[in-house]
A and B are shown apart, each in its own frame.
Chain A
Amino acid sequence: MKSEGLSPIVQTIAGILFPMILIFSFYVIMHGHLTPGGGFQGGAIGASAVVMLIVAFGAKNIEKKIREEKLSAFESIGGVVFIAVALLGLVMASTFMSNFLVGDIIFGKIPPFGSNLGILNSGGILPILNLAVGMKVIGGLSAVVLVMALASKEEKNDI
């Protein structure tokens, strides 16, 4: 346990910062259709939170908590949601990927033309897709970093 990871100070601060970064990432994802940012950017922020934990606590310890298969499954769910929403556009409206929620109850408000303050409840399928992509990116990037970090640990006994 001692050989893995950084000093307790770093570990504690990383533990405190981790939920904050996740919340910020969630904010960036959910406001993707209003402010700069979106699924990828927010997902990258969220993945960086996981990477911070990996750096602070060491890959082996993180792996005991979250297996990379779980992260990969998380990513898969994101992908499935994305394509399911896109296919729903085909079923509910006319074409694949059509924005069938505009004018509907959820995310259906149309903002006034020109400069405005932004309405969270707008954008049609965009926020849902943002969320799906965010899940994908968080899962995918942290899985990659985790796998690569684990692999570089194994190096010594594998040559």
Chain B
Amino acid sequence: MNDWIVTNAPILIIATPLFAAFLTPLVDRVSKRGRDAMVFVATLITLVIAFILAKNVFDNGLVVYTLGGKSVGLTLPSGYHVPVRIILEVDGMSVFMAMISTLTSFVGLLYSFSYIKGEGSGKYYTLFLMMLVGMLGMEMTGDLFNLFVFLEILSVSSAALIAFYARKGKPLEASIKYIIISSLAALFVLFAIGLLYGEYNLLNMGALAGEISSEATFTFTTQIAFILLFASFVLKAGAAPMHMWLPDAYGEAPGAISMVLVAATQASLYALLRVCFTVYSMAIDASTIGIILISLGLVSIFIGATMALIQINMKRLIGYAAVAEIGYILLAIGVGFFELAKVGGGGVISEYGLKALQGGVFHIFNDVLDIGLLFLVAGAVIYVTKESNLNKLGGLAHSMKYSSIFFIIGMAAVSGLPPLNGFASKILIYESVYKVSPITSIIAILASIFMLAIFVKIFHSVFMGPKLSEFATCKEAPKLMLGSMAVIAVIMIFFGLFPDFVVNNIVNPAVNALMNQAGYIGSVLGGV
């Protein structure tokens, strides 16, 4: 039984929430409590499977799963040289992202139980599970077209959830902007997949990488396809100057969804990394791509931090801060890619290039946790006061003591104050970026200080000051909300106090998986 679960974990992790999502409307007709229990159990099982899978992958390396094949490991049909069926390929990076997705979804679900009330809650949980399915599907798959399908699942469910409070009007606007932009990006992804298919008659990422990395079959069309994929995923990851949809969407989504959306954005970032590092790797002009990533990161940090300063809507402000955080990740990844390009495919990457990649990948997790916690607190404030305008809020620390403590933790982490997790990843990024370009590093540090100023602004205007008469009756947020915030806060403090443990055990396998293109190809095509 145990072996069976370990072997089939790559598909069970997707099938469980999917099955629960299909069952939700049926159970919802019978009993609301039963539905809540089922959704909770399904998400919990998914979380557990994610950790089982992670342990398996960290111990035994890359795991493949051939869907519908005669056996799980039979990636190529017997006696044939190209993969035909859809293959799930789970490496260190995939499980790293899967842990992020399942964890945030689990916490977000706990939060939603007390946040979402009234009509439509059944559909809410269906869509919520679909978001989880979309993220996990993107992260587990080894097939490009499959990636597109799950990208669309993620987009559609996110768009529907952003517009959940449709009566307010603004969520509708955010939602339609989000869905148009993301389906446009997804269509260009599909076009690029078509180009690759027409060129190589392959859809599997490992097999494609094998074809692309040989000089003879690398063509002009392949390059165009790369740019289309790159631009689309950068857009979906929310890098400036294509970030405009992101504050809209984050700002108007219901409480927990904002946090899960951060993880969803990181899933697109994962797709970007997969395309850059695994599918194309050194076939394209990697140093140029590295410089593009660095400049995108820099612009994102700058625009995100400065624009956040003038916002007066609380969640929109945090959304701009999220843009800046994405910038840090792109900056670090860009430096890593740039360094990787110097040594080509085979050589050993320089020390600081490796550290930059570690910092970037570690920061993906930290970004979700930090920004997620802030969104949860902001959601609780909105839940209690029904107000998100910073000019009207004030003095809530009198009634919401715990929430304000969680906000301080999140604020300190997101602006990189020691000893929290944000500092651990940011110092890796600063120091390694400094080796490549000192001025970039200094701008990044300054922007981090800027972020502290921004969040002091929120803290001052929401929690500080005298108790206002309009919020006199406000109480502390419900216990379940505080509990879910506490879960995130505890993880953040753990990551902050033991960064070496996290980097060695979770981040390093992910970074190694990113750089190990040959292993990824070999797992599909068999011992290259």
Interfacial residues, chain A to chain B (CB-CB below 8 A): 69, 72-73, 75-77, 79-80, 83-84, 86-87, 89-90, 94-99
Contacts and interface: CB of A to CB of B under 8 A. Distances in A.
Contacts of A98: 67-70
A94 B8 CA distance: 10
B78 to A, nearest CB: 14
Contacts of B8: 90, 95-96
Contacts of B69: 94-95, 98
Contacts of B65: 95-96
Interface string B48-92: 000000000000000001111111100000000000000000000
Interface residues of B, number: 19
B26 A96 contact: no
Nearest to B88: A96
Contact of B22 (A79, A97, A99): A79
B68 A69 contact: no
Contact of B18 (A72, A75, A83, A95): A83
A97 B25 contact: no
A101 to B, nearest CB: 12
Contacts of B33: none
B70 A94 contact: yes
14 contacts: A69-B29, A73-B26, A73-B29, A80-B23, A80-B26, A86-B15, A94-B71, A95-B11, A95-B69, A96-B15, A97-B67, A97-B68, A98-B67, A98-B70
A96 B19 contact: no
Interface of B: 8, 11, 15, 18-19, 22-26, 29, 65-72
Nearest to A87: B15
Nearest to A79: B22
Q: Chain B's interface: helix, strand, loop or mixed, by majority?
A: helix
Given A94-B70, A98-B69, A99-B68, A80 B22 contact: yes
Nearest to B18: A83
Nearest to B66: A95
Contacts of A90: 8, 11
B501 to A, nearest CB: 34
B29 A83 contact: no
B221 to A, nearest CB: 30
A89 B70 CA distance: 11
Given A76-B22, A80-B26, A94-B72, 16 more contacts: A69-B29, A76-B23, A76-B24, A83-B19, A90-B11, A94-B70, A94-B71, A95-B8, A95-B11, A95-B65, A95-B68, A96-B8, A96-B15, A96-B65, A96-B68, A97-B67
- Shortest 7 CB-CB contacts between residues of A and residues of B: A79-B22, A96-B11, A97-B68, A76-B25, A98-B68, A80-B22, A97-B67
Nearest to A80: B22
B416 to A, nearest CB: 43
B151 to A, nearest CB: 20
A50 B69 CA distance: 38
A95 B11 CA distance: 9
A98 B72 CA distance: 10
Nearest to B67: A97
A94 B65 CA distance: 11
A69 B69 CA distance: 37
Given A80-B23, A87-B15, A87-B19, A96 B67 contact: yes
A137 to B, nearest CB: 14
A95 B72 contact: yes
Contacts of B23: 76, 80
A79 to B, nearest CB: 4
Contacts of B26: 73, 76-77, 80
Given A86-B15, A90-B11, A95 B67 contact: yes
A38 B69 CA distance: 22
B36 to A, nearest CB: 17
Given A83-B18, A95-B72, A72 B25 contact: yes
Nearest to B29: A73
A117 to B, nearest CB: 27
Contacts of B11: 90, 95-96
Contacts of A76: 22-26
Contacts of B19: 80, 83-84, 87
Contacts of A94: 69-72
A90 B72 CA distance: 10
Nearest to A90: B8
A77 B24 CA distance: 11
B23 to A, nearest CB: 6
A95 B15 contact: no
A3 B65 CA distance: 58
B18 to A, nearest CB: 6
**Which of B19, B23, B68 lies at the interface centre, i.e. has the most chain A CB atoms within 10 A of its CB?**
B68
A142 to B, nearest CB: 15
